[in-house]
Each structure stands twice: as C-alpha cells, then as structure tokens.
Chain A
C-alpha cells in the first residue's frame, strides 16, 4: 500500500498522537484550574460537584462525545468491523482488508447535478477537514464512540449543485472481486449501495469521512472515503465509496433489498421501533460491562428531529 498524506493539512500542522491526546487532558485541567481560581476568588470551597465532574476520567485518551461518553480506542474501532465485502466475521475484516488498494482512488459524483465531476480522493481531502466525535449504533445492538476526521457532505453538495428535481442521494461501495472475498456470496445483491434523502444529506451532521483518530482511515473502516450518518443505524454509512449519485427516485439500497420488511430506507436509530425480530431498546457500548439504553436518533434528536416532524417513524423504519 502506498503512503499518502493530506494535501489540505501541512505536516507542520499535524500534532503527534501523544500530544494530540494529552492536549485534551490539558484543556480539561486548564478548565478546572481556571474554575478553581475563580472559585478561590469568591472564597468558595473548591471541592464542588462541578469540579468533580470536570476531572472525571474520560477513558484512556481523554476524547469524549458531547454527552460525555469516552471514545472507543483505536484498536477497538479498527478490529471490529461489519464490512461484508471482506467477511461476515467482524474480527477478521482488519486482516482481510489489509491489502485492499485504496490509491489511486476516484469518486464519480453524478446524476441530477449541475456540476458532475470525477473527484480524485486528494481533491476531496482539500475540503476543510475537521474532527467529529460521533456515536455509531449498529442495528445488531452494539455501539461505539468514534473520532472521525472528515467534512460535511453539504459542502460537496454545494459544489455539485443538485437540480431542483433531485430528491435522493446514493453512495456506492467499491466492488473489487480480486480483493474482497465476501462478494462471492450469492445471498446479497452487490454492490453495496446506501442512500439518504437530500434534506438528510444536507444536515450538518452527515459527514464524508477520510480519517480516524487524526490518521488516514484504515481500509477496514472504509478507506479512503466513507460516510458517517450518526443518527441512523451503522449500515446506512457506506464505506469505500466510488460513486455518489443524486436522483429523483428513492434508490434501491443493499439491506432493504435483502430484507425489505426488516431494513427500511430510513433506518433511524429509534428505541421505540424494534427490528421485527429483535428489540432496539438497548445496546452494548463496546468496552462497557452493562448494556445502555438506546437514544432516539442515537442522541441527535435536537439536530435531526425536524427532518422527521411529519413522518410516522414506525411506518418509515
């Protein structure tokens, strides 16, 4: 595999991982110190509950999501992957995807757009990259917290300018028979296609991901380009994307083709809407000992709830 770098991030800007991780601890300590100084000035005992909350350990690396849950480790995120093109064994994908060629890589952005364009992956890395710590909830009932690097999908949409007739957007995963053993399975309709409504795609949470933990995305996580739509079940976030198409018709997607009564197009995380054969009320956060309750829209109701204000969530699962 050839080595690449981010054209958009000069090497002087890249923080070594240890510093990157420590920086967050430092910011927390600084906040505590600042807080204590203020409290001291008002002559209040510093051992307040607020302070305790601030210094609560937040996992080995100090990364937390906005709800205060610690991020999963790099090892956890990169060794437990549902990527059926390689294998149905989540533990085996990392090894099987090791030699998956991800350079050169082009993404064909096409369909009902005014500016269709075949983007080189390096062009896509020129969009302003940022870190987003997102929860990922798998339809199987487990979840992780992942610090992705990427850019909002709406920035790309702005550039390609969807036509007024456009309503949907689909993402196609690479189908590489030479490197993906799993695609020989006759029980699935390859390639993997997932999609969103255009208004969902324009929500700021929808992220095109190029990296993880400040590094390039590893193949098992969908290198070099994947989607992260954190309020939907994980299968909606396609990996190793080679084609993005804007359409008027709702695209036929991989899982809803495999089992239409079980996997809908929307697939919003919702504890009140069970999978026909299993509950979605709770989940196992990888690394935790107890199961936790699943949140409506995976905890992003405030950001995305308005997208579904007039929709029957039970009928549109």
Chain B
C-alpha cells in the first residue's frame, strides 16, 4: 500500500462515513417511514457535495497554496461517482423494483432524470479512466476527457434544480439546495478562468508571501506536499 498523507486518509474516511451512517439509520429505523425517498435524497446530496469538493481543490490550491489538495481530486471524484451510482441503483432497484417498463413509462416526463443520467454517464467515463494507467496512455487526451467533469457538474446542478419543489428562476420554493450547489460550482469554475486565476495567485502571494504552486505539477517536478 502506498503511503497516504493525512489528508488522503481523511478523504477516505469521509468517503465511507455517509454510507455507514445511512446503513445505521436504515437498520435502526431512523430513515423516516419512507426510507426509499430518504435514502435516494441522501445519496444524491452526498454525491453532489463530494463532486463539488473535488472541484474545489484546484481553486483552493490557487488561493491558499495547498498542493496537497490536488491529490484529493481523484478520490473525491470517485466517491462522488460511487454515491451517484448508489443513488441511481436505489431509484431503479429499490424504488422501481427493477421494473423497467414502469420506470420507462415515466422517463420522458422526468427531465431531471435525463440530465441526471447524462451526468452519471459522464462521471462513469471519468471513473473508468481514472487510473494512472489511462492517464499515462492517453496523455493530453486524458486531460481533455477529464474536463468533462465541468459539464457533468453543471448537469448535476440542473438535476438538483429540477427535482426541487419550487422555481429557482423565481427565487421561490424549496430551493436552497440548488442555489447553494450552483453558487459553489460557479465560484469554483470562475476561479479557473486564467485572468482570475492569476489574480488570485498574486493575491495569495501578496497576502501570505508564498510562491504560487503549479496547478498541475508534471511528474518529477512535483511540489513538496509539506507547506514551505
């Protein structure tokens, strides 16, 4: 087993904690009288949070110079994919008892389902090619492919907005979740725009007086994980 940094250990703990809590809630009858809906919503919420955390690593490094965070993007993304898959499995298996005829009859009336599945499909491509083997083999194409995570995250926010009882555009209804997710995603995407990123980098340099860490250090020139 490779040596894990404390941050990496924390991420793996964070990854399994929600599932453990969910199982405990289920067996102790603490998942409301409608456990299907509760489990569906919970796994969905967790997947969204993990995906947004994964996307927050890069801008947080730009802003605070914490290159150790960059190593967390992959495990966070993989856990997000894991909970999103569980989310779909609960929908198809537990909610619709794998009765695809019944589920299919309603698919066209559920656009949130279509964007959700599109996002999950994209995430599955990224998960399948997440191993270093593919990273080395695909080289530049790997980077291009994995930029699809931005599209996936956008679809996920749309999915969350479309399942809520309310209207995000009107700022009315039960909409705090899509608002919070959309806001977080926007911040983390904005911080990636080159001029903004450079500005944030310089800002950090002025404030903390640390040299900016490269966003994606090439192998061999990896920045030390310890803060300098």
Contacts and interface: CB of A to CB of B under 8 A. Distances in A.
Interface of A: 72, 75-76, 79-80, 84, 88, 90-91, 139-140, 142, 187-189, 257-259, 261-262, 274, 277-282, 284, 286-287, 289-291
B112 interface: yes
A258 B166 contact: yes
Contact of B110 (A188, A259, A279): A279
19 contacts: A90-B32, A142-B37, A187-B166, A187-B171, A187-B172, A188-B172, A257-B172, A259-B165, A259-B167, A274-B109, A277-B163, A278-B110, A280-B109, A282-B102, A282-B106, A284-B37, A286-B34, A291-B99, A291-B102
A74 B145 CA distance: 53
Nearest to A289: B97
Contacts of B174: 84, 88, 187
Please classify the interface of chain B as helix (H, G, I), strand (E, B), loop, or mixed, using the class held by over half of its residues.
mixed
Contacts of A286: 33-34
B95 interface: yes
A262 B110 contact: no
Residue of B96, B99, B162, B173 with most partner-chain A CB within 10 A: B173
Contacts of B109: 274, 278-281
Interface in B61-117: 95-97, 99, 102, 105-106, 109-112
Interface in B150-200: 162-163, 165-167, 170-176
A261 B167 CA distance: 9
Size bin of chain B's contact surface: 20 to 34
B32 A80 contact: yes
A281 B108 CA distance: 12
Residue of A79, A262, A277, A290 with most partner-chain B CB within 10 A: A277
Nearest to B97: A290
B174 to A, nearest CB: 6
A57 B5 CA distance: 59
B172 A75 contact: no
Contacts of A262: 167
A258 B167 contact: yes
B172 A76 contact: no
A178 B111 CA distance: 39
B34 A142 contact: yes
Contacts of A142: 34, 37
Contacts of A291: 95-97, 99, 102
A-B pairs with the 9 shortest C-beta distances? A279-B106, A279-B109, A259-B167, A274-B109, A91-B32, A76-B33, A258-B172, A80-B33, A258-B173
A154 to B, nearest CB: 31
Contacts of B34: 80, 90, 142, 284, 286
A289 B98 CA distance: 12
B105 A281 contact: yes
Nearest to B165: A140
B38 interface: yes
B36 interface: yes
A276 to B, nearest CB: 9
Interface in B101-143: 102, 105-106, 109-112
A85 to B, nearest CB: 13
Contacts of B171: 187
Contacts of B173: 187-188, 258-259
A257 to B, nearest CB: 7
A91 to B, nearest CB: 4
A245 B111 CA distance: 38
Given A90-B32, A259-B166, A286-B34, A277 B110 contact: yes
A269 B70 CA distance: 50
B111 to A, nearest CB: 6
Contacts of B105: 279, 281
A257 B173 CA distance: 9
Contacts of A258: 166-167, 170, 172-173
Given A139-B165, A258-B173, A277-B163, A79 B110 contact: no
Interface string B1-35: 00000000000000000000000000000001110
Nearest to B110: A278
A302 B39 CA distance: 37
